[in-house]
Amino acid sequence: MRSPLLTACTLVALAVPVHAGDITSVYTKLDFKQGCQMVKRVDEGESVSMLCQGYKDYPVHFAEGDLRQAADFICSSRRPEFHGQRGKLSGNPG
């Protein structure tokens, strides 16, 4: 049989709220003319894949095709480096 004290302590421990950090949102504009580099373009179906300078040092992989768009931030281990205004990059974009 379980101890009532153990059960009470467990219930109290589970009832304590857990505090997370503040949640914030930021917005950034992608400059397709100056801050992006074309990675892949398919004329049939009009699809394009671009690597753009994003928020702070997080590049954005932007894809558009078949009237759909997607924007993905790239994690630090796969992050390419941008050089210059036209979005020249080095590293692994994929």
Give one DSSP letter per residue of 7-22, joined into a string.
HHHHHHHHHSPPPPPP
For residue 85, being part of any structural domain is answered with yes
Q: Residue 93, class by beta-carbon neighbours within 10 Å (0-12 exposed, 13-18 middle, 19+ buried)?
A: middle
pTM score: 0.54
Flag whether 78 is in a domain: yes
Q: Report how far residue 33's alpha carbon sits from residue 22's, in angstroms, rounded to the nearest whole number.
A: 34
Residue 57's domain comprises 21-90
pLDDT tens digit string along 30-72?
888 888 998 898 888 789 999 998 888 788 889 999 889 998 8
Using CA atoms in the order 53, 55, 57, 60, what is the torsion angle rounded to 10 degrees?
-50
Joined tokens for residue 25: 């949102």
Least confident of 12-26, 28-42, 64-78: 12-26
Query: Do the domain assignments include residue 82?
Result: yes
**Total domains, the chain:** 1
Is residue 1 situated within a structural domain? no
Evaluate whether residue 10 is within a structural domain: no
Residue 7 lies in a domain: no
Task: Compute the average pLDDT of residues 70-88.
Answer: 62
